[in-house]
Amino acid sequence: MKIKANGITFNYRLDGAEGLPWLVFSNSLATTLEMWDEQTAQLQSKFRVLRYDQRGHGATDAPAGRYTFELLMADAIALMDALDVKRTHWCGVSMGGATGMGLAQRHADRFDRFVICDTPGQSTPTTSAQWEERILSAQKGGMKALLESTIARWFPPETLKANPPHLDILRKMILATPVNGFVGGSAALANHDFRPGMKNVKNPILYMCGEKDGHNAAVMRQMKQEFPAATYIELPGAGHISNMDQPARFTGAMREFLDAA
């Protein structure tokens, strides 16, 4: 399904009956709305689920240029407005999680509960330099040049060795990501800092991270200390795309958190 919002055409999908509470899923860099298939299947009986491809991803338009999280947040609000979503829960992984952190601080009245997953919530000089290197790699060699290094960064060696089916799904998503979208999203990830503002958020927050998600798990444990009102859940053995690595645990934790609303 397609709709125009904030100057571009978005690809989106709706599941669940009209009249149920809204739940919006937001994808990570180099993935599509299909990353949420398992969660949607389990939650659509209780929620009106809106999934969308973030700007530059999947079947959403991929304008050239460096994106910002201000732009990605404006996209989310414009899409909600276009679909008459007055208030919703939010769940995002990585880039989608960081988008949610910004929305919690700047558009809190449009949201109820946030599930923020597998994101450090800020860039650092080191991570910014890494993102700029990846941008150059994509511009020179396309997404194929980043495929295996991305999968290796997302998942621990034991998962790579086991090679579960969702890894091939993600490989296809990465390869199909427009270079413009990867460059734009990487630029946003290279320049953001939502952590300081989280202490002022009033919405209920669930932080969730894969235990094997690089340094993100340690960072998100620290984020929980910075914002004691938040709940933090670590998913054993899961990598960066934790909802696909541990779908049952991820969805169960989400359901329990949202049921409390």
How many C-beta neighbours within 10 Å does residue 56 have? 27
Across residues 167-174, what is the average pLDDT? 98
- Tell me, yes or no, if the pTM score tops 0.95: yes
Supply the CATH number for residue 185's domain.
3.40.50.1820
Mean pLDDT of 30-56: 98
pLDDT (tens digit per residue) in 123-142? 999 999 999 999 999 999 99
Count of structural domains, the chain: 1
Token pair of 21 as six digits: 């509470």
What is the pLDDT confidence band of residue 39, given thresholds at 50, 70 and 90? very high
pLDDT tens by residue, 194-217: 999 999 999 999 999 999 999 999
pLDDT tens for 149-167 read: 999 999 999 999 999 999 9
- Give 77's pLDDT tier (boundaries 50, 70, 90): very high
Do the Cβ atoms of 26 and 36 come closer than 8 Å? Answer: no
Q: Which domain holds residue 252?
A: 2-259
Mean pLDDT taken over the chain: 98
